[in-house]
Amino acid sequence: MNPPDAIIVGGGIQGVSMALTAARRGLHPVLVEKSSLAAGASGNSYGIVHGGLRYLQMLDIPRWRRSRLAQAWFLHEFPAQVRPLRCVMPLYQGRLRSPGLFRLAMAFEQTLAATFDARVPLPPPQLLTAEEVKTEFEVITEGLAGAACWHDAEVTDMPGLLQAMLKRAGLEPPSLYMPFEARELLTQRGEVIGLRIADVNNGDTREIMSRVVINCAGAWAGSWQQAAACPTARSLAFNLLLAGALPGNSALAVSRIPGKGRSYFMRPHPEGIFAGTYYRPAPDATEPAVTAEDIQAFLDELNSALPGMHLRPADVKAVMAGLLPDKDGSGERLSSDDHILTHRPHGFYSIVGGKFTTAPLLSEDAANRIWPHLNRADHMAATLVKHHG
Ligand SMILES: Cc1cc2nc3c(=O)[nH]c(=O)nc-3n(C[C@H](O)[C@H](O)[C@H](O)COP(=O)(O)OP(=O)(O)OC[C@H]3O[C@@H](n4cnc5c(N)ncnc54)[C@H](O)[C@@H]3O)c2cc1C
């Protein structure tokens, strides 16, 4: 067998996307995962594939475009695992999330969306009146001025999505090393020549030869030898499955101070209510450990946002938690410049800290950097963007 064109470390959304991008460019990657597919943050994500409407409220059109493209791609390519999700966010007079600002974002969205051939068209965003929100949800009514209503996408089967992406990339054993852990880069005269990996079940090590190693190990990206240039601090993020029921089939976005601050989503789940996502710095954590205080802090936020729910720890049926790479241990996210790193030795790259939504786009960007001589055509855009004229 010829040596693979690239060894990808990590079987989360980023590693799997990278494998698919490489395969679509005619390359033969292999993937190394120390546990199982979606074992890290990806498998515990809240699973919203954001279309980027919030970026329009900040007039960040390039970022909107990237999110929208990735969302459209997921919906079109993996309809069995990704479906549209109606979202409702109450708006309050005089607050950041006010009807005026949302109206502006809506107008932008409609103009820009006309440049897309999204194939799975989503209903346009709309404003609901205060009366309409009140009939649907028991939200805080003081100052309520209506609600933003838009469609995002949700991943309904995360391991299934990653399996389907790997299948599309043609990756199966012997090109899939699982459970194997990346241990050490093999180098020669400043160039990568391969990777030493260890079988997690029996500790046996082996070497895979390749001139390219791409580190997509998420919060652990800086933990293994020679990946020290990656961030090593972490944040903890978790969702709760709560007893109870929500009406309808929509996600409700709420915040502790109505119309202001971090938003939490609540949506119906076959076994109750799925609430997410609570974040806190966890600089030295090696595993996503959620404490009773963490859970209480999240419930306090939700109870402030939706006082009628009276949520208690006894209502918690399950906790889904993951670790995310963090800029410096303060809970601050990595900036877009930190996502794709080119290291020494030559041939070693990391892709860290992107959102679930943008993993396929980061993979395209990384592929353009790693293999500049190959077809640079943006495959995602080519399949989805309308060509005028
Ligand atoms: C609770 C929560 C909710 C979230 N909600 C959303 C959301 O709604 N929308 C959104 O866009 N994003 C969301 N995110 C963020 C998103 O899930 C992550 O940004 C994304 O999944 C990160 O993917 P990744 O592949 O980089 O990392 P991970 O999914 O963590 O994958 C890294 C993989 O590398 C493996 N690995 C680590 N070290 C090694 C090694 N040495 N050798 C081999 N394998 C190794 C791990 O086992 C793991 O499987 C959420 C995250 C969390 C935790």
DSSP string, 98-122: -HHHHHHHHHHHHHHHTTB--SSPP
- 277 CB near ligand 1 (under 6 Å): yes
- 42 CB near ligand 1 (under 6 Å): yes
Report the C-alpha gap between 368 and 25 in whole angstroms. Answer: 10
Per-residue model confidence (pLDDT) at position 227: 63
| Gap from CA of 137 to ligand 1 centroid (Å) | 32
- 47 CB near ligand 1 (under 6 Å): yes
- 235 CB near ligand 1 (under 6 Å): no
- The H or E element containing residue 65 is helix 61-77
Per-residue model confidence (pLDDT) at position 150: 94
Query: Which residue, by CA, sits nearest to atom 14 of ligand 1?
Result: 45
For 257, which DSSP code?
Answer: B
Whether the Cβ atoms of residue 217 and residue 39 lie closer than 8 Å to each other: no
- 40 CB near ligand 1 (under 6 Å): yes
Q: With H, G, I as helix, E, B as strand and everything else as coil, classify residue 226.
A: coil
CB neighbour list of residue 351: distance below 8 Å, 6 or more residues apart: 14, 18, 214, 215, 216, 339, 340, 341, 362, 363, 366
Bridge-based pairing state of the strands 6-9 and 213-215: parallel
Whether the Cβ atoms of residue 184 and residue 196 lie closer than 8 Å to each other: yes
| Gap from CA of 43 to ligand 1 centroid (Å) | 7
Q: Which of 343, 332, 62 is CA-nearest to residue 225?
A: 343
Per-residue model confidence (pLDDT) at position 301: 96
Report the C-alpha gap between 223 and 249 in whole angstroms. Answer: 41
The CA–CA distances, whole Å, from 359 to 337, 356, 373 equal: 14, 6, 22
Q: Which of 203, 222, 223, 211 is CA-nearest to residue 186?
A: 211
- 14 CB near ligand 1 (under 6 Å): yes
Q: Which of 142, 139, 132 is CA-nearest to residue 94?
A: 142
Per-residue model confidence (pLDDT) at position 56: 79
Report the C-alpha gap between 374 and 110 in whole angstroms. Answer: 35
For 151, other C-beta atoms within 10 Å of its C-beta total 18
Report the C-alpha gap between 366 and 15 in whole angstroms. Answer: 12
What ligand 1 atom has the least distance to the C-alpha of 181? 42
Query: Which residue, by CA, sits nearest to atom 1 of ligand 1?
Result: 238
Bridge-based pairing state of the strands 176-177 and 144-155: unpaired
Q: Any idea of the CA torsion for 147, 152, 323, 234, to the nearest 10 degrees?
A: -70
Of 215, 238, 355, 363, best ligand 1 pocket probe by most atoms within 8 Å of the beta carbon:
355
Residue recorded with tokens 């299948």: 167
Of 34, 63, 241, 349, best ligand 1 pocket probe by most atoms within 8 Å of the beta carbon:
34
What ligand 1 atom has the least distance to the C-alpha of 14? 25
- 48 CB near ligand 1 (under 6 Å): yes
CB neighbour list of residue 107: distance below 8 Å, 6 or more residues apart: none
CB neighbour list of residue 257: distance below 8 Å, 6 or more residues apart: 304
- 10 CB near ligand 1 (under 6 Å): yes
Report the C-alpha gap between 22 and 15 in whole angstroms. Answer: 11
Report the C-alpha gap between 198 and 180 in whole angstroms. Answer: 5
| Gap from CA of 197 to ligand 1 centroid (Å) | 20
Per-residue model confidence (pLDDT) at position 164: 97
Of 20, 45, 280, 351, best ligand 1 pocket probe by most atoms within 8 Å of the beta carbon:
45
Residue 293: Cβ-neighbour burial (10 angstroms; 0-12, 13-18, 19+): exposed
| Gap from CA of 113 to ligand 1 centroid (Å) | 29
Token pair recorded at residue 293:
């205080």
Residue 303: Cβ-neighbour burial (10 angstroms; 0-12, 13-18, 19+): middle
End-to-end CA distance of the chain: 46
Token pair recorded at residue 298:
């999240």
Per-residue model confidence (pLDDT) at position 389: 34
Domains of the chain: 6-42+159-231+334-384 (3.50.50.60), 232-332 (3.30.9.10)
Report the C-alpha gap between 77 and 24 in whole angstroms. Answer: 14
**pLDDT digits (tens), the chain, 389 positions:** 688 999 999 999 999 999 999 999 999 999 999 999 999 999 999 999 998 887 877 778 888 888 888 999 999 999 999 999 999 999 988 766 677 777 888 888 888 877 777 677 889 899 999 999 999 998 999 999 999 999 999 999 999 999 999 999 999 989 999 999 999 999 999 999 999 999 999 999 999 999 999 999 999 998 886 666 787 789 999 999 999 988 788 999 999 887 778 899 999 999 999 999 999 999 889 999 999 999 999 999 999 999 889 999 999 999 999 999 987 777 777 766 678 888 888 999 999 988 899 999 999 999 999 998 886 666 676 666 554 43
What ligand 1 atom has the least distance to the C-alpha of 218? 27
